[in-house]
Amino acid sequence: MQALSCAAGAHPALPRRLWACGAPPPGATPSFSLPRRLVSARFTKLQALSCAPPAQLARPFVPEVEAAADSLHSEFRAVDNLVAHNTTRVLRAFQNARVGSHHFGGSTGYGHDEGAGREALDKVFAEIVGAESAIVRSQFFSGTHAITCALFAFLRPGDELLAVAGAPYDTLEEVIGIRNPFGNGSLRDFGVEYRQVHLAEDGSLDWDALSGSLRPQTKCALIQRSCGYSWRRSLSVAEIERAIRMIKMQNPDCLVMVDNCYGEFVETVEPPSVGADLIAGSLIKNPGGTIAPCGGYVAGRKRWVEAAAARLSAPGLGIDCGSTPGGVMRAFFQGLFLAPQMVGEAVKGSLLIAEVMSSRGFKVQPAPRVPRHDTVQAVQLGDRERLLAFCEAVQRSGPVGSFIKPVAGSTAGYASEVIFAHGTFIDGSTSELSCDGPLRDPFAVFCQGGTHWTQWALVLGEVLNSI
């Protein structure tokens, strides 16, 4: 309606809004022709609509947050460009795979009678991440499970796994056998050795150490793209590419696996495009677009995706089995389509958190206004009480379980006590707005997700009041 009134009233001397509130200025002619009766009826209606004094909405955010949001205008615009690039890539993949509503039907039982949805989803996903092949399934419990399947695809007794970006994420300690190594089916339990290249002092990759780090038995190099619960920089895809080159120069047969959790769609290319043999991640993080209710993925070279699939199911079953009910298949497709946009909002949220919290004197990682490589924003809070208060404020501000007080406790897979604030529609879906952190020095909170940056802006008001 408003747009139509402007088109009808294009007149260089008067602001459009003014003209919409009154009679057309003398000499102005509507730029389209409607029957006279209709034109005057339309103007009368518009007058009634737009002459009411503009409602003055109260400023929605506390002044500190309002100022930070105002100052981030150009950064937010750059994020919109990123979203547009990634949405273009996603749309092209949907169109190339000829995705149709017949793909949303899902299946039951063995999942043999599936209607090609699973195949289309795998194809779309593989194209988006620049991989030969992908397996996207509800049967992956979590990111940890998908990463585990990928590692077990590569590694056999006597091999060595080398983590090149320092200590891996907490839940991988038991998978690798850094903690509780024997008797639980960890890699160590199966005779796979482990080493890590420590990070450089500034928290980036130690390139010198990496350049001479491989041994003949090093079969797989693990690169963790996002920071996890470490106070470190997340890796750009360009840095991942450089690391892969260094690894393959030392031994072209060493396979590279990238833990891609929280990295998807933060840049315009994904690690398989720069040489990663496999990537793995969770659908209740970035690529599920906040609506996939469960699941994970492994993508990369076909042979190794098949090996990961055999670990997920059973050798010989291949990738064409495993049922997923219809509603879930539709959510996977739709979530993947929405993912670039949701990631964009999460990135804007992280820019805002960095701006506000650093102006309050807290150390933040990444620093304000630097390019992002994941959707995580860490803030060093310095002590246990402040970390708890931050998480309580976030939980209080959520749409689900706002009445719950989160408490720190032990969680399967984590050695440290951890606190989680996830007032989310899908249990633990950190790509909806969430924050969490281990109760250990430097008592950092790790914030992520958010379906719109304004949600973080509102939550930050509550946080600032509480810490």
In terms of CB distance, is 274 or 376 closer to ligand PLP? Answer: 376
Contact assessment for residue 229 and residue 438, using Cβ atoms and an 8 Å cutoff: yes
- 299 Cβ contact list (under 8 Å, min separation 6): 125, 126, 129, 131, 133, 134, 135, 272, 278, 279, 280, 305
Nearest-CB residue for ligand PLP: 143
Taking residue 317's Cβ as centre, other Cβ atoms within 10 Å add up to: 13
282 or 365: CB nearest ligand PLP = 282
- For the bound state, the minimum distance from the C-beta of residue 233 to ligand PLP, rounded and expressed in Å, comes to 13
**Least CB distance to ligand PLP at residue 225 (A):** 7
Q: What is the CA radius of gyration of the chain?
A: 25
Q: Is 214 or 284 the residue whose CB approaches ligand PLP more closely?
A: 284
Strand-pair partners of 448: 376, 434
- Which phi and psi angles does 221 have, rounded to 5°? -110, 130
**Shorter beta-carbon distance to ligand PLP: residue 9 or 143:** 143
222, 223, 229, 231 alpha-carbon torsion, rounded to 10°: 130
Using an 8 Å Cβ cutoff, are 235 and 247 in contact? no
In this structure, are strands 418-421 and 376-380 parallel, antiparallel, or unpaired? Answer: unpaired
CA terminus-to-terminus distance, the chain: 46
- How would you class 249 by CB atoms within 10 Å of its CB: exposed for 0-12, middle for 13-18, buried for 19 or more? exposed
What are the distances in angstroms from CA 188 to CA 111, 157, 220, 253? 34, 9, 14, 21
> With respect to ligand PLP, which residue has the nearer C-beta, 226 or 397?
226
Query: Identity (one letter) of the amino acid at 248?
Result: K
> What are the distances in angstroms from CA 266 to CA 37, 83, 129, 231?
53, 9, 12, 19
Residue 212: burial class (beta carbons within 10 Å; 0-12, 13-18, 19+): exposed
As to burial, measured by CB atoms within 10 angstroms (0-12 exposed, 13-18 middle, 19+ buried), residue 52 is exposed
Beta strands in 109-155 (DSSP E): 133-137
**Which of 169, 443 has the CB closer to ligand PLP?**
169
Is the Cβ of residue 62 or residue 444 nearer to ligand PLP in the bound state?
A: 444
Indicate the residue among 142 and 290 with the shorter CB distance to ligand PLP: 142
Shortest spacing between CB 322 and ligand PLP, in angstroms: 19
**Least CB distance from residue 467 to ligand PLP, whole Å?**
23
Q: How near is the Cβ of 223 to ligand PLP at its closest, in Å?
A: 11
Q: What is the binding site for ligand PLP (CB under 6 A)?
A: 142-144, 169, 171, 224, 226, 228, 259, 261-262, 282
Report the alpha-carbon distance of residue 262 to residue 218 in Å, rounded.
Answer: 26
Query: Closest separation between CB of residue 427 and ligand PLP, Å?
Result: 12
Amino acid in position 158: G
List Cβ neighbours of 74 (8 Å cut-off, separation of 6 or more). none
Residue 127 or 173 with smaller CB distance to ligand PLP: 173
Choice between 282 and 380, CB closer to ligand PLP: 282
Report the residue number, 68 or 150, with the smaller CB distance to ligand PLP: 150
Residue 115 C-beta: closest distance to ligand PLP, Å: 28
Checking DSSP bridges between strand 444-448 and strand 418-421, what pairing results, if any?
Answer: unpaired
Q: In the complex, what is the shortest distance from the CB of residue 274 to ligand PLP, in angstroms, rounded to a whole number?
A: 18
Minimal distance, residue 171 CB to ligand PLP, in Å: 5
Q: What is the DSSP letter of 453?
A: H
Q: Which is nearer to ligand PLP, 280 or 307 (CB)?
A: 280
Minimum distance between the CB of residue 258 and ligand PLP, rounded to whole angstroms?
Answer: 10
**Shortest distance (Å) from residue 141 CB to ligand PLP:** 8
- Residue 127, Cβ neighbours under 10 Å: how many? 18
What minimum distance in Å lies between the beta carbon of 164 and ligand PLP?
Answer: 14
